[in-house]
Every structure is written in C-alpha cells, then in structure tokens.
Amino acid sequence: MPLSQLLNLFFPSRCPLCFNNSDAFQFSPICSFCWAGIDKYIGPACKICGIPSISEQTSICGECLKTKQPFSRIIYYGLYDSSLKKAIHLLKFRGIKRLAKPLSRLLLELPIPESDLIIPVPLHLKKLREREFNQTALIGSWLSKELNIPIKIDNLFKIKETPPQTMLRRKERLENMKNAFFATGVMNADILLIDDVITSGATVRECSKSLIQKGAKSVTVLALAHSRPTDLKAEVSINPNIPEFSINQDKGSAE
Ligand SMILES: [Zn+2]
Ligand SMILES: [Zn+2]
C-alpha cells in the first residue's frame, strides 16, 4: 500500500460535498458516494458547440448557424456543477493530481472520434510555472494511454498572456483570446483538443483556429464539463448588455 493511501486510512480527509469521511483514495477528498453522483449530461445541446439547453426542436444553436466554427464538435461529459465542478477545482487549483485519472475515465464513455493526435489546451509559460502543471495535459496523457493516440504538448502554445476572462465583456473576451495561440506540426492531422471546462468557448475556438490555419484536417474538442445555461442566464441578468449564451462566467481552462 503506498504511503499516501496508508495516511488516508489513518487520517481520512473529509468529503468537501457531504462532509463525511472520504472512503476511496482514488477520488478523495471526494467520497465514492458523491463521486457516483457525477452525471453525464444527456439533455438537449447544440450538435456543434455543445451548448446545453437549446430548444428540443433545434439541434444547432443560433451562434453556430450564424458563424462556421473552426472545430467539428465540442463533446463533454457533464455540466459544470456539484461533484464534477468540485473535482475539477481540486485538480486545477488545489493540485490534487490523482483526480486526473478518474476524471479521464469519465471521458472514455463519450463518442470520441478516431484521431491522430491529442493536444491539450496549453497554459501560458508564466501560468504554467505558477501552477507547476497543466491539468488538461494530465487528462490528455491518461487518455493517450487508454486510447493509444499520441499526445503532443509541443504543437500548440499560448503565446499571449491574457487577463482572466471573468471580468470581460464578450467583445473584450474575444479580443483577449485573439492570436493568443500558436500551432505547429499539425498538417493533415485529425486533432482531439482537450479542455477541462467550456464556458464561452472562446479559448477552444482560438486554439482550433490556430490548428486549422496550420493545416490540421479537423479538430474535435473533448472537455470534462460545460457551464450550466442557468449560470449563463444569471450573468445575463447582471450584465444585460451581453448577449445570451456568450458569457464566460468562470476562469476557463486556459487562464
Ligand atoms: Zn461525499
Ligand atoms: Zn452551437
């Protein structure tokens, strides 16, 4: 038994959701009961950008009808909520890296298309030095092993430091991410782009644009979670000048 697991046995951590003792080392501090509560989102969503809760009658959202997206599709496991949100936070901001494996496992349940390369959404070098790891690269490397697709972390770079998207309006947000990424060595490749949370989609859109501009054949975005539409609406009511469904109310993965 590894030391960390042994320690967990004698000094169990508390589940941040139900406050009971964490029982399964693999997901701890989240307990196995709360982990089992992570639901796959099966409700209505745009067939292209994946935005949840568009009408049952339409399969493509207004935004995707209006503008051609640089990615083929965004697929994700669940809504950015409860246990899934907590797990992503613990991995990303508290550095609990063991959660990368069970989180990656969730993604294996999704219809992942055949791909040539796995590319994680990169962090700017300065951010990477601060955080010491890139959560999307951890998820990407687990998926790479499971799916037998090579992971490339030197084919997409974040070359522009961007302020947190949270405080920005739509126009500023798009401007913020513009030319933030640089791709190389992706000619004719079908790419699986890994992100943790999709909020406005500005980050994965700009990443995909760079990859396609450098000759990638296609980009499919694979993410753990998508923001809840109610969160988006709540922000609309606070900020009525921002059009619905174009809000980034979270820090996003690339920040
Ligand atoms: Zn719990
Ligand atoms: Zn859409």
Domain range summary for the chain, segments of one domain joined by +: 1-37, 38-238
pLDDT of residue 51: 93
Per-residue pLDDT tens over the stretch 195-204:
999 988 999 9
Q: Is the pLDDT of residue 251 over 60?
A: no
Gap between the Cα atoms of 254 and 131, Å rounded: 12
Residue range 148-166: mean pLDDT, rounded:
90
| 125 CA to centre of ligand 2 in angstroms | 31
Q: Which ligand is nearest to the CA of 86?
A: 1
* CATH architecture of structural domain 38-238: 3-Layer(aba) Sandwich (3.40)
Q: Which ligand is nearest to the CA of 63?
A: 2
Q: Is the pLDDT of residue 50 over 50?
A: yes
| 138 CA to centre of ligand 1 in angstroms | 24
| 252 CA to centre of ligand 1 in angstroms | 25
Gap between the Cα atoms of 12 and 28, Å rounded: 9
The amino acid at 104: S
| 85 CA to centre of ligand 2 in angstroms | 22
Q: Which ligand is nearest to the CA of 17?
A: 1
Q: What pTM was computed for the model? A: 0.85
User: pLDDT grade, residue 236 (50/70/90)?
Assistant: very low
**List of E strands, 93-227:** 117-120, 156-158, 181-183, 190-198, 218-226
Q: Which ligand is nearest to the CA of 44?
A: 2
Residues having C-beta closer than 5 Å to ion ligand 1: 15, 17-18, 31, 34
Higher-scoring residue by pLDDT: 130, 23: 130
Peptide bond into 29 cis (omega under 30): yes
Which residues are paired to 190 by β-bridges? Answer: 218
Phi and psi at residue 164, to the nearest 5°: -55, 135
Q: Which ligand is nearest to the CA of 87?
A: 1
Higher-scoring residue by pLDDT: 240, 86: 86
Q: Which ligand is nearest to the CA of 45?
A: 2
| 67 CA to centre of ligand 2 in angstroms | 9
